[in-house]
A and B are shown apart, each in its own frame.
Chain A
């Protein structure tokens, strides 16, 4: 889906780094190092990034500048990561967040 790749953004820089691998809900995907995680997901055809807090409706790319909380995901175990501004790195583990996110496992 190369046509879905975002190459320009009015605010963020999109430097195309080296190709890296990461996982999304266990699926292996490719992206470019340094691009926002959401851009890599978008290029891979992923449109649903999270769910609304109360009614659990699907939430996708919305503001794309780290403002709206529509794209909160769990990245490498950290909850509430705004993937529209978080830069992609090799081997990242990106998972869809259900609920408010888990800060710390008590047991």
Chain B
């Protein structure tokens, strides 16, 4: 059974004239112990997709249509109290900035104890023992002393470890990691990436990783989905997608990374800017920035084309090429 399944998700915000669909028909699947990375530039809808999985889309936005199953159970039809009990136990989240999600006036150990006791009928002492154990597991030095530390006494890397400990304390089936290392320095980032790699197999948790950093994707992901303007444009195994990609947007994105071209060589530019959600063009949303666009691209949205290696690409030109063999 998949840890997480999303089907035809549509997230809407009220607009001036008509509703704006910031996520427009996204489907995905994450298996236990697997990392699926959602990548894309600001405003592509990747964070909204992630928040939808916890039913935490900020108002006035709302999930308009679709299905979301956590460990096989449909969560969109659940009553609020039931949803609350799943959040933090079956599905947890870690954020970019741990400071905003830790309570500054409660010792970090107590915050994890509280999270455990919220979901399980265990004694304080038992919850504290488990917190200590998980602090050791996430590599917090002097874990016993750190139980009583306040967030401001910890460095950024340690705070992120506490967040991860809290997210995993209840042994969730799904972990949503939204830019988990973006605020960290590169040497600390390497430590946290290593930690997430270890924990995902140990806990057999399915991870939905949200990031704009293709280096982080390469280090952590098994599969990658590239999003543009609220939709998937390409999805497949890490090596296939990052080796080149078939969608012109994936290709442009990869060629614009400074580390991937020879020093001094010119970076590829994708002309123009990502359009705002209330200004998404009809047809393929990348068409007006795409070098390979043909007439049909601005008329009709492309369907998914499946490639031999299990990849799916949403592009008329690729569909044509595949059909021609």
Q: Do A and B bind each other?
A: no
